[in-house]
Structure 1
Amino acid sequence: MRSLLLLAAVGLAAAETGIDGWLRYAPVPNANASGLPINIVSLNATANGPVHAAASELQKGLSGIFNHSLNVIYPTSYQLSDTASSIVVGTVAEYANAFGAAPKTPQLENDGYFLNTTGSRVQILGRNERGALYGAFQYLSMLAQGNFSEVAYTSNPDAPIRWVNQWDNLDGSIERGYGGPSIFFSNGTVKINSLDRMTQYARLLASIGVNAIVVNNVNANASILTTQNVEGLGKIADTFRPYGVRVGISLNFASPTANLVYGNLSTFDPLDSEVIDWWQNVTDTLYARIPDMAGYLVKANSEGQPGPLTYNRTLAEGANLFANALEPHGGILVFRAFVYDSQHLNESVWTQDRANAAVEFFTGLDGKFAENALVQIKYGPIDFQVREPASPLFAYLRNTSTAIELEVTQEYLGQQNHLVYLPPLWKTVLDFDLRANHSKSLVRDIISGERFNRPMGGYAAVVNVGTNNTWLGSHLSMSNLYGYGRLAWDPTSDPQAILQDWIRLTFGLDPAVMRAITNMSMASWPAYENYTGNLGIQTLTDILYTHYGPNPQSQDNNPWGQWTRADHDSIGMDRTVANGTGFAGQYPDEVAAVYENISTTPDNLLLWFHHVNYTTRLHSGETVIQHFYNAHYAGAETAQTFPTQWEALQGKVDAQRYNETLFRLTYQAGHSIVWRDAINNFYHNLSGIADAQGRVGNHPHRIEAETMNLTNYERYTVSPFETASNVTAIVTSANATTGTASTRLTVQNGTYNVAVNYYDLYGGKAQYTLTIGGRQVGAWSGNNEDRLGNTPSIYLDGHSATRITFRNVTIRRGDVLEVTGKADGVEPAPLDYISILPLGVVD
């Protein structure tokens, strides 16, 4: 390919919704189309195949990037002369058939591709058709980023399994979904009228090398197997097939006793011959409609789901029931390792520990799973926490194929309302050396199959895209989906380099945009960890409700096993062999020795493995409790910088994406303070130990709403107590819809930022007005349910607590500040406090 020239800075793009993700194919300024090949030669004309899709994608992409259309020539019509200055796309075998000899390429594996732009003929050749499509997307990705260099290289995926799991329910809802309703289901059936949207999703997945999708929730409904839904699944598969993305489904283990289509049975015992025949019949029927179905995903004996243990059968026997049915068709059975018994966990028993469950349940089963069965293991032993050690099950299953389960949807991690770029978190696990048999045993090498010489393995991610034009509910959260695909293809990749590729593809080539989004994103996970739960204590969210806002006390005194065992003097799980739950001993010897000893345990996992006094000193020299205070303040301070960094991009990012992103970053800045105060207040109250810097519980710039002059407002004690400043908020009186809270200000004349903390409840849209000195400063609505992707709380708590800030407000000493709140529905216009902040001061 001839060298092309990029001459000028990037101009402002037109308004965008986010629907194109990173496949925008936006014009590259001053790119010289005269350097392009003159044709696209597709070596395969099959209309529903990946090579045909690759040719169409190249035509679409080059038209967008260069504003220049190229013809696609198919095998029935091209001559050798057509290929002299062409982009040739297809498989190596098709190339050899067309040109008489295969090109000299390094070894290609399944799904791998060879990309060569060094001559007049661009070669994009795959080991199979998917590989050719992946190579086409990579070529377009280079050009869309303004990279016109000459390259010749082979790229192979690290592992054969690169799947996504949707948690879509048949009624159209999505468990842990924050981007709108399902694109796949509604009213119990497949959404046939959504096939175009599914095509767009298939393109996005293929462009990052994802080769299969499980379309329904792991908490599966047996009616996925009805005749109507099997036909609907077939249409989904037809839609995804051109992009090399195979469709799989989640199954309910007890379906034989709940499904009338294939005949009801009285048992779902995996060793019962009638059950075996039942599932074989189901599987044969599915493959008759979907010949290339990827396989099944099964969650069993976890969180109340049925499974083989009901009949005293092993997990392997349960998994092999499905694997055996799939084997004649070439399908794969994925069995989730997320198995634990929440009905019998007792925190008062010092040795009990949910983290032990995976290894305990799989003890004695290694090597007993069918060859086409794969165990899917969450990256940590609990549940998608902000930081966890690598699951020891990766090292335990040495004769069983495994995959790592990651979560793109930010269930415990801000639910797309908080910017949290996740690949750096995932890399801490993928790069971890488990030292199996005292040898190098990186998690990424175990799951690829390389370390223990397994035939298959790889990656799965819970993604949960929805009908929102941003797919995930937030423009910036799409970096996590892109990053997942890139790491699943090559887990040695640098997260920042991946991020910057995504930025160029999504927002363009402006250096200021690159700097700002890079800085925010790379700081986001450390900041979130700091203001939500650090030192390995887990994400201190409400595990009994929405898994979103702060509620540290919800972690303990329940059977869910995400305990902190915090009391007046001490905190943390003792997971040592010597004194605790024994979890540390599940690791291979060298790793176990590190975690068993408090002096060698890293600070960021201290409270995961050890129960210590609040005054215990870390390697940093800080006490545990002072680190908590300092880290939560530091994390919230970092989040305050996000809106201002983004505001510097006004005019450099199109207005729609700019405004939608600014709203979320501003919301995050406010909610990070809610988190900071809730966690610090809780542990300050529990431990009785003061913050050495005097910040916790001391807010000189705040005016508590309950201390103001109230008309038609009344005091309300908030629970949990730490999610309100001074425990108390105000709500409109029972017999009134509008209330006012006022006070005379005693600050010096000057310019201030004015922050209002209030509660935005689901089910109402209260209206607020703020005036100072008779001048209206701002008006707003409690309408987060319209603007955020998650379902807010119906209570005054850490989920609904919200902060709005009005900047650069001129105030004179003696001005009267008044907030008027008009209740709506279940939302009684709740207020917590107002802060009058000198410029540059964080509350």
Structure 2
Amino acid sequence: MLRTLLSTIGLVGLAAAENGLAGWLRYAPIPGAERYRAQLPSHIVALNATATSPVYVAGQELEKGLQGIFGKQCTVHHAHGHWGAAPQVVVGTVDEYTKAYGALADAPELIEDGFWLSTKGQTVQILGQNERGALYGAFEYLSMLAQGNVTEVAYATNPAAPVRWTNEWNNMDGSIERGYAGASIFFANGVVVANMTRAAEYARLLSSIRINAVVINNVNANATLLSTQNIEGIGRVADVMRPYGIQVGISLYFASPTSAVQGQQNLTTFDPLDPSVVTWWTNVTEKIYERVPDMAGYLVKANSEGQPGPITYNRTLAEGANLFAKALQPHGGLVLFRAFVYNPINESVWKNDRANAAVDFFQPLDGEFDDNVVIQIKYGPIDFQVREPASPLFAAIPKSNVAIELQITPEYLGQQCHHVYLPPLWKTVLDFDLRKDNESSLVRDIITGKRFNKKLGGSAGVVNVGTNQTWLGSHLSMSNLYAYGRLAWNPSDDSTVMLQDWTRLTFGLNPSVIDTMVQFSLETWPAYENYSGNLGIQTLTDILYTHFGPNPQSQDNNTWGQWTRADGTQIGMDRTIGNGTGFSGQYPPEIAAMYDNLASTPDNLLLWFHHVNYTTVLKNGATVIQDFYDQHYAGAATAQTFVGMWQSLQGKIDTERFTDQLFRQVFQAGHSIVWRDAIVNFYHNLSGIPDEAKRVGSHPYRIEAESMVLDGYKTYAVQPFEVASNFTAIVTSTNTTVGTATAVLDFPAGVYDLGVNYYDMYGGNSSYCLYLNDKMVGEWVSNSFQYIGSNEAPRILGHQPSIYIDGHSATRVTFGNVTLAKGDMLKIVGTPSGIEPAPLDYVVVLPAGVVD
């Protein structure tokens, strides 16, 4: 029907303020829409009249989308009709279309969930192999139109894999483990919530990116989910998600039979081979399917991080998984069994290595898992780090079904407060060739079943949406959820293309917005890697606490196994076969040989596989320690540019989202410097090797808080030392004393940015005022990073908070374009609150273009 691509896009009039709830399904008007309105369908035929069917929903979605994008009002019908020459769109299954209109001339080859889309001629055909596929096709058509693409197309598309699930780590009390966007949309106070509005809205978003199942509760599960009341609640969630083609799954607590659960028998054992336990799970499963006949299945975490499992009874993990698989088999359900199985280990044993755990546990069991069990494998061997090699387990269990586990909620990667566009990271694993049996063995081909001829496989994404209207806590973080769905359908999809599509759908068709957003987002992962842990050392966050801010010394001297083995002369894990932990030998021979050799190991994974001197020379000519210095400074410098890039979008996107994200970019810029300084100071102190560029420890634009004239303030030795400039901060002398810190400025007259580094602790709402010559420059409140600027609503970042003065609570507020002269008096007044003693680290006086 329509034969052109909208090319005269120009600047679109700004829409009303948007809160992010619509995600990429805004259906915003596009420029020039009126020119195409007459050619668009006037009638929508949805070949199912049942209001809860995905085809019926597809008809409603098409009606809404055509109205929103083009202002085109359409009539929805549910049977074949004759409307003369008026264009129409028909959506339904291939079978229903054939009954109504006759067989297609060239019937597409579709598998489950696949669809055919043709915009040629007077009738747009959107035909699914099943109803879910038809709905996917409707969203595809609307996505094209919303991006200004009205060209003629005719193609069929099929999913690369049948498992396209999300995992939501929601707890029964309404909290979300590693969730940064508010409370659960599924649970509160121990039960399933009554209001299903957000659950339905989430199902709509997921359906549009072709996700087919949602596990609604935490992998660290609670037996009370299986109560009679909550099974009914699960049913209500399933009822609102079903029309969107979304099935519901649940995580299980392995020891549930021994727990007191309403409506269920209480046993004295959870041994997976005990007949009473088998009967218990069979009965519970039947009860669930009575209420939720299309339940997707179970997700199980067992014998890891203190969770009970089959090993408790000296049973194998396969015996544990098969317990649930057999209960599900009559109902067609799947078991996704996590390969995240490890125990605390002794660091003093050189050959101990947590990275070995997955292969050690699962490879001997290959072939023992039932056909409806899928082993869910984290993309790397440790735990969602900023860079990891592909897990060798993907190649180690060719007889088993496998799925890749990705994390959309970036637990170790900024917790939605640092923007990190993740698909380029994911693609390093998906596109990696493991060379099993010396043949091409791309991870993406393994998880889709192509490489080892498996029928089951796919992707599981840890998403953790919350009640925040942005869903994930940040508007830009939704690009990761969108791309996850795209990759689950087609793991070969391109990171840049997905980002361009998401930007057009989310922020409109202005070319400068698209170009800026794409450039900015593609730079975020390399920047974050550079300022948080490069050379394969992994994310140098605090692994003992919140996993948010920097704390490199927390990596070692514990039993968790995320070690760097850093000392005064050497750093890195020796994972070689001969002298190290042997981890490199878990890969097929070609890959093992590459990683086992220092010379052939890529620099970006060097410290993952090798324990080397700080003075070891890299392929780029720098030493390990100098590259640490250089890249951490480079990464933080790049993060500063994100602020200006985002500011360039002012007036080109709506004010609400612009302002909200600008706040986050300013925070990321400041916190990247906290990261940079913590890492370079720590390793400079540890190694004693100076920075060739003389940057580490040199801060000519800073005024240390402890060097100011203090009244009501006292000095405080910060721990860990590296997260405070000069290792020292100041705090009020008591929690009721107002503190004042003053300094005479010794900078040439000019216009500067004034930055104040302080600590925003959980448990207090300290307030601060900044004065220049007794004239207020600005004020702010330390309240979960709640900033009060002129005429701006407060905005709160959602990362895991800290009750300490540390790298998690460290942050910066900046006041731009301040005119000052030599001899001016700078004063900060801090008023403590609760446990928070108005802590300050330093003031920085920055000339234009200078990065602290």
Q: Do they fold alike, i.e. is TM over 0.5?
A: yes
- How many angstroms does 1:83 deviate by? 8.7
Segments of structure 2 that go 5 or more residues without pairing to the other structure are 787-795
Matched-pair contact (CA < 8 Å) for 1:531–1:675: yes
Q: Which residue, 110, 126, 143 being the options, matches 2:112? A: 110
Matched-pair contact (CA < 8 Å) for 1:6–1:30: no
Aligned to 1:33: 37
Q: Give the residue type in structure 2 aligned to 1:812.
A: A
- Secondary structure in 2 matching 1:174: coil
Aligned to 1:339: 341
Aligned to 2:101: 99
C-alpha separation in 2, matches of 1:95 and 1:8: 36
Aligned to 1:650: 650
Aligned to 2:18: 16
Taking the TM superposition and a 5 Å limit, the aligned residue runs for 1:348-387 are 348-387=348-387
- How many angstroms does 1:174 deviate by? 0.1
Q: Give the residue type in structure 1 aligned to 2:68.
A: G
Render the CA deviation track for 1:15-54: whole Å, top value 9, x for unaligned.
0000000000000122121110110001111221111111
C-alpha separation in 1, matches of 2:123 and 2:732: 73
TM-score (normalised: structure 2): 0.97
Taking the TM superposition and a 5 Å limit, the aligned residue runs for 1:59-458 are 59-75=63-79, 78-81=80-83, 85-193=87-195, 195-260=196-261, 261-342=263-344, 345-458=345-458
Q: Give the residue type in structure 2 aligned to 1:248.
A: G
Matched-pair contact (CA < 8 Å) for 1:177–1:465: yes
Render the CA deviation track for 1:813-843: whole Å, top value 9, x for unaligned.
1001101111111111100000111111101
C-alpha separation in 2, matches of 1:15 and 1:331: 43
- Secondary structure in 1 matching 2:68: helix
Q: Does 1:697 align with 2:701?
A: no
Matched-pair contact (CA < 8 Å) for 2:363–2:393: no
Render the CA deviation track for 1:306-353: whole Å, top value 9, x for unaligned.
0000011000000000000000000001100000012xx011100000
Matched-pair contact (CA < 8 Å) for 1:96–1:103: no
- Secondary structure in 1 matching 2:365: coil
Q: Which residue, 816, 819, 829 being the options, matches 2:825? A: 816
Matched-pair contact (CA < 8 Å) for 1:172–1:185: yes
Aligned to 1:54: 58
Q: Give the residue type in structure 2 aligned to 1:250.
A: S
Q: Give the residue type in structure 2 aligned to 1:370.
A: D
- Secondary structure in 1 matching 2:534: coil
Aligned to 1:838: 847
Matched pairs, number: 838
- How many angstroms does 1:103 deviate by? 4.4
Matched-pair contact (CA < 8 Å) for 1:38–1:86: yes
Taking the TM superposition and a 5 Å limit, the aligned residue runs for 1:788-827 are 788-827=797-836
Matched-pair contact (CA < 8 Å) for 1:2–1:120: no
Aligned to 1:731: 731
Aligned to 2:751: 751
- How many angstroms does 1:101 deviate by? 1.7
Render the CA deviation track for 1:212-265: whole Å, top value 9, x for unaligned.
000000000000000000000000000000000000000000000003422111
TM-score (normalised: structure 1): 0.98
Render the CA deviation track for 1:277-314: whole Å, top value 9, x for unaligned.
00000000000000000000000000000000001100
- How many angstroms does 1:197 deviate by? 1.0
C-alpha separation in 1, matches of 2:132 and 2:9: 35
C-alpha separation in 2, matches of 1:81 and 1:503: 37
- Secondary structure in 2 matching 1:140: helix
- How many angstroms does 1:2 deviate by? 2.5
C-alpha separation in 1, matches of 2:220 and 2:37: 51
Matched-pair contact (CA < 8 Å) for 1:105–1:154: no
C-alpha separation in 1, matches of 2:480 and 2:84: 41
Aligned to 2:761: 761
Taking the TM superposition and a 5 Å limit, the aligned residue runs for 1:542-557 are 542-557=542-557
Matched-pair contact (CA < 8 Å) for 2:9–2:510: no
- Secondary structure in 2 matching 1:600: coil
Aligned to 2:484: 484
Matched-pair contact (CA < 8 Å) for 2:273–2:319: yes
Change (3 A) 1:103 1:252: farther
Aligned to 2:585: 585
Over aligned residue pairs, what C-alpha RMSD do you find? 1.0
- How many angstroms does 1:80 deviate by? 4.4
Q: Give the residue type in structure 2 aligned to 1:68.
A: K
C-alpha separation in 2, matches of 1:445 and 1:103: 32
- How many angstroms does 1:84 deviate by? 6.1
- Secondary structure in 2 matching 1:716: strand
C-alpha separation in 2, matches of 1:103 and 1:377: 43
C-alpha separation in 2, matches of 1:736 and 1:145: 56
- How many angstroms does 1:164 deviate by? 0.1
Render the CA deviation track for 1:426-446: whole Å, top value 9, x for unaligned.
000000000001000000000
- How many angstroms does 1:418 deviate by? 0.2
C-alpha separation in 1, matches of 2:848 and 2:604: 34
C-alpha separation in 1, matches of 2:42 and 2:503: 29
- Bigger Cα displacement from structure 2, 782-791 vs 38-47: 782-791
Matched-pair contact (CA < 8 Å) for 1:50–1:133: yes
Q: Does 1:459 align with 2:459?
A: yes
Taking the TM superposition and a 5 Å limit, the aligned residue runs for 1:520-559 are 520-559=520-559
Render the CA deviation track for 1:467-499: whole Å, top value 9, x for unaligned.
000000000000000010011111111101100
Aligned to 2:792: none
Aligned to 2:793: none
Matched-pair contact (CA < 8 Å) for 2:401–2:457: yes
Aligned to 1:496: 496
Q: Give the residue type in structure 2 aligned to 1:39.
A: H
Change (3 A) 1:82 1:484: farther
C-alpha separation in 1, matches of 2:835 and 2:141: 53
Q: Does 1:516 align with 2:520?
A: no
Matched-pair contact (CA < 8 Å) for 1:770–1:819: yes
Q: Give the residue type in structure 2 aligned to 1:252.
A: Y
